[in-house]
A = this chain, B = another copy of it.
Amino acid sequence: MSKSLTVLTPAETVACCSPLSREPLSRPQAEQVAPLLKALADPVRLRLMSLVASHEGGEACVCDLNDAFDLSQPTISHHLKVLHQAGLLDRSKRGVWVYYRARTEALTDLGALIGNPSA
């Protein structure tokens, strides 16, 4: 898969928008932000994100994550891929194990876009 230098993940484009209540979002802006929210808009992915983000070092092993759900391993893998492709999780393989790390700046930017009444 191509990972060209100039390609930004959805999460990396969010910091540029002022909050929802500040001024109307343009159509292109909305189309950039929506996929990020879509990635979070699932109970399983929300818990995954929260598990990773709140884990020691902001990092968690897939092996731990699988056990926290009653879902099949491919399903968890799918959800992690969605979060990763949205730019909300970083992936790093160490030996046999794969670790996912939360992109806290992405979460911060997104939270500010949605909820920040000032700024």
Contacts and interface: CB of A to CB of B under 8 A. Distances in A.
A51 to B, nearest CB: 5
A50 B41 CA distance: 18
Interface string A92-119: 0000000000101001111111111100
Contact of A20 (B46, B113, B117): B46
Question: Quick one: copies of this chain in the complex?
Answer: 2
A31 interface: yes
A49 to B, nearest CB: 6
Contact of A21 (B26, B53, B109, B117): B53
Interface of A: 20-27, 30-31, 33-34, 37-38, 40-44, 46-47, 49-51, 53-54, 58, 68, 102, 104, 107-117
